[in-house]
Amino acid sequence: MGHSGLTQGALFVLNRATVKIAIVGPGAVGSYYGAKLLRFGQEVHFLLRSDYDAVRKSGVRIISPEGNFSVRPRCAKTPEEIGVCDLVIISLKTVANDRFNELLPPLTGPQTALLTLQNGLGNEEALSAIFGSDNVLGGLCFVCLNRLQPGVIEHLVHGKITLGEFNRWPEPRTHDLATMFRNSGIPCAVTDNLARARWEKLIWNIPFNGLGVASAAGLEAVMNGKLIPGRPWSAGLSTDLLLADAQWLQLIRDLMHEIKTTANALNLGISDSLPEELISLTRAMKAYKPSTLLDFEKKQPLELQSIFLTPLDIARRHHVSTPRLQRLCTVLEGINNSIEAQNALSNS
């Protein structure tokens, strides 16, 4: 990972106390962090679709053990209404990444930093293919959030962002952004290796997001990597229920081992102790439904490519054996295909 020197946008935070920020995809994650940035004085614009009327009328309300608060972001239906920003925070579901070309160019100029807070792999690459890599950053969010209704977000626990540059060492602007987040009450660390941080997050995301959904098909289906014909789906399992059952817990550990082994085949040097540390952190969440389980409950398309299929493909290319991940992906693809078929029928 080489150092490219200062980028064009490297000093934008130093030059002004107030930063113009667009939140693209303000669901639970984008709304929560956008609200905190706005509360502490930044100029924050929300690019909204279905939630536009509710947020414009009533603002955004955060319910949190750290204290409830409400803010009124500037609302827009089109990126052209917002115009060029200093910072664009992308928190879209990755299934919508094909909209980057439509949504992002009106928000970006030569000094705009693009920060993706999306899950999985390939998001920075998709941005850099359009805008070049110099102004692309990634952030990993370890936070428990629920979107209760349009503009109402419940924060349960955690909240840290780990921030890094795409394919570069941290720049001065990386540390400036981290300072801006911390000044807004958001714990924020800077990593010198964004790829490693992404894989560390996958060690959590793949088992808890994946098994949360796949558990609806039953343990037998997940163990065999095959949906059972005619078997109705049950409710998927939240994190506490997965951890409370010895067989699901073993699957969590097996998946974590496969992901860690794949990451270390890429020379990322992930610690052997990380899986158990993540399990301990997850126990503190009590009953939590990860984002993929919430998508499943709403019968929305699952974020399969970025979180599950791309890591599986990388494991294959590096000759890492990942039988648990392979079977999990097969079950999730079957569930997702069924959701998309049901949606197509209901829309026809």
Provide the pairing of β-strand 113-116 with 69-71: unpaired
Closest CA to 136 of 100, 160, 189: 100
Q: Which residues pair with 47 in a beta bridge?
A: 24, 76
User: What is d(CA 159, CA 156) in angstroms, rounded to the nearest whole number?
Assistant: 9
The DSSP secondary structure of 127-193, one letter per residue, reads HHHHH-STTEEEEEEEEEEEEEETTEEEEEEEEEEEEEETTSPPPHHHHHHHHHHHHTT--EEE-S-
- Residues in CB range of 78: below 8 A, 6 or more apart: 47, 106
Query: Could you identify the residue written with the tokens 């500037």?
Result: 74
Q: In the annotation, is 20 catalytic?
A: no
Catalytic pick from 20, 93, 201, 289?
Answer: 201
C-alpha torsion angle, residues 296, 298, 304, 306 (rounded to 10): -130
**Residues 217 and 227 sit within 8 Å (Cβ to Cβ):** yes
Supply the residues annotated as catalytic: 201
